[in-house]
Structure 1
Amino acid sequence: MIARLQSTLGALLVGSLFSTFLSGTVSMQVAFYSTVYQKDALRLKLTVSVIWLLDFLHTVFICVGDWEYLIADWGSNVEDWIPWSIAASVGLTALMTFVVQCFFAYRVYLVSREKLYFAVPLAFIALARLVAALVSTAMMVRLGSYSRFRHDVGWVFTLGLSLSAVLDVLVAATLCYFLRKNRSGFSSMDNVINALTFYTIQNGSMTFVATVAALACWVSLRNLVFLALHFVITKMYANAFLSTLNARKAIRLQQSSAERDPSLPVALNTSTYARGFEINRTHNHHTHASDDIPMTTKVHINVEESIHVDGDYEHETNDSDDPTKVPSDM
C-alpha cells in the first residue's frame, strides 16, 4: 500500500512541488524581461504575457489537483481518478507547447531566409500535437479514470507526447543547420553563432528529455509518475522561451567585447547587458547597419569592403528586435 502511494500520490506531490519551483523562475524571467526589454514590439510583449498567464493557471490547476487528491477526496479510490483540474493542466500544457513551438517554427522560417517548406511542416506538427492533447483533455474529463482512458484513447496521449518530442528535435536540428551555414568566417561573429548554437541545443534538449521521460513512464508504468513529469514540461517550455529572449543583450555585450578584444570568449550571462551596439559597413562612403546580431544571422559582409565596428554605449538600440526575427538562437 505504501509503495503504491509513493508511486502515485507521492510522485504527484513531488512533481507539483518541483513544477511550482520552476514556475517561480518563469516569473523571475518575466520580471527581468519587463525591466530590460521595454521597447520590444507589442506582439512580443503580448506573447510573453500569454506565456506567463498560462504558466500561472497551470500552477493553480496542479495545486487544486493536489488538494483534491490529498485532502478533499483522501481515502477514496484516488489512484485511478482523474480530477477536472488535472485534465485541465494537460490542456494548458498543450497550449503552452503550441505557442512556444510556433515561435521557434517562425524563427526557422526566418533563419532559412523565409523558406516555407521548412517552417510549415513544423507548424503543422505543432498543431497536430495541440489537437491530440486537447482530445486527451476532453476524454480525461469525460472518462474520469486513468485505466479507462488508457484503454479507450491512451494512444492519443502517446501520439501527442511523441509529436512534441519529434518537433523539439526537428526545430533544434534545423536551427543549428542554418546557424552553421551562416558562419561568416569572422571570429567575433562566429563566436556569437557558436554561442547561439549551444543555446539552441541546450534549450531543445531540456524540453526533449522531459517529454521523452514523461512518454516512457506513461507507456511502461501504471502509476502517476508520468503525470509528475508532465507537470514539469510546461515550465521547461516557458523557461526555454523566456531565456531565449532574455539572453539577447548579454550576447550583444559579448559580441561588442569580442569585436574590441577577439581573445574574449562569448559567455551567456543574462545578468549583464549592453546599452547597444551596431556593425556598420563602409563602402564608397555609404554605411548600412546590419541586423541585430543576437536576433538574426542575416549578416552581409563583403571581404572587399572595410569593416568598421562601433561600440556605442550611449545610444540605446531598438530593443524591439522581435525575437521572432531571431532565427538564430534557438
Structure 2
Amino acid sequence: MSSPTPAIPPVDDTLGAALIGFGLSCIILGFLSKEVFIYYGRYPNDKMVYKVIVSVIGMLELMEEAAIGHYLYYYVVSNYTNPAAFFVDNFVWSLMLPVAIGATVGTIVKLCFAMRVWRFSNNVYITGLIAILTLSQLSLSITYTVKSFMLQKLVRAEELRLIASLSLGSGALTDTITALTLCYYLRKFRTGFGQSQQLAYKLSLYAINTGLLTSVMSLGALIFYDAHPTTFQFTPFYYNLSRCTILLLL
C-alpha cells in the first residue's frame, strides 16, 4: 500500500511568504549597497584585507538575491499553470542555494565580530567559543543544503527540521554571547570622564542593538520554521538575517 501524499500548504504560506521575503531583501540590499560604496569612499586607506572582505560579502549577497529571484520566477512565472510543481516535482537548483550563501556570509561577518571581541577582551576562551559556534552553524547549514539536494522534495523538508533548528539556534546563541561580551568589556573601559563615558555608553548600546536585532531575526526564522517546516514563512527572517548583521558591521 502506498503512503498517503502529504498535504500541500497554501500558496500564501509558500511562494507568497517567499515573495514577501524577497521584496524585503531587495530593500535591505539597496541600503547595503549604499553602505558598501560609502565605505570605499570614507576609508580609502583601510587595509586591503578589509576591502576584500567587503567586496566578497557584496558579491555573495548579489548572488543570493539572484538565486532567490531565479527560483521565484521559475515557480511563479514558468510554472504558473503547474502550481503542484513546487512540491511534487524535484525542486529547482536555485531554491536551496540562498541557504548556503547566507550561511557563508553570516560566518564571515560573525568571525569579524569575534575579532572585535578579541580586541576588547583578549579572552581566548570566549573568542574561541564564538568562533566554534559560528563554524558549527556554517557546517550545519551546508549539511542542510547537501541533504536537501539529496532529498529533492520539499514535502520531505520536515526530515531536516533538527539540522535546521540547530543551525538557527546556534546562530542566535552566537549573537547573544557576542553582544553580552562586548557590553561587559566596554563597561570596563568607563573612566568616569565625560567623553570617555559617553563613548563607552554608545558602544555598549550599539553592541546590545547588534545582538538584539540578529537574535530576533534568528529566533523568528527558528520559530516559524519549527512551526511550519514545509512552508516558507521563515524566509522573511532568514533572507534578511545576514544583511542586517552586515549593515551593523559596516
1:184 aligned partner:
191
2:6 aligned partner:
none
- Whether the 8 Å contact between 1:111 and 1:175 is mirrored in structure 2 is yes
1:220 aligned partner:
227
- Residues 1:238 and 2:246 are matched in the alignment: yes
| Alignment RMSD | 1.6
Residue among 70, 78, 92 paired with 1:83: 92
Tell me which structure has the larger Cα radius of gyration.
1
- Whether the 8 Å contact between 1:8 and 1:79 is mirrored in structure 2 is no
So what's the TM-score if we normalise by structure 2? 0.91
The AA in structure 1 aligned to 2:192 is G
Aligned length: 239
> Shift of the alpha carbon at 1:154?
2.1
Matches within 5 A, 1:99-114: 99-112=108-121, 114=122
1:196 aligned partner:
203
Matches within 5 A, 1:96-175: 96-112=105-121, 114-151=122-159, 153-175=160-182
Q: Deviation string for 1:139-189 (max 9, x for gaps)?
A: 1222122331322x3211111000000000000000000000121111101
Within 2, Cα distance between the matches of 1:161 and 1:32?
31
Percent identity, aligned pairs only, is 26
Q: Deviation string for 1:241-293 (max 9, x for gaps)?
A: 22xxxxxxxxxxxxxxxxxxxxxxxxxxxxxxxxxxxxxxxxxxxxxxxxxxx
- Whether the 8 Å contact between 2:161 and 2:226 is mirrored in structure 1 is no
The AA in structure 2 aligned to 1:43 is V
- Whether the 8 Å contact between 2:86 and 2:154 is mirrored in structure 1 is no
- Whether the 8 Å contact between 1:82 and 1:140 is mirrored in structure 2 is no
Within 2, Cα distance between the matches of 1:146 and 1:228?
18
Residue among 71, 76, 93 paired with 1:70: 76
Matched position secondary structure for 1:14: helix
- Whether the 8 Å contact between 2:87 and 2:155 is mirrored in structure 1 is no
2:52 aligned partner:
46
Consecutive aligned runs of 4 or more in structure 1 exceeding 3 Å deviation: 79-82
Matched position secondary structure for 1:23: helix
Q: Which has the higher contact order (CA 8 A, sep 6+)?
A: 2
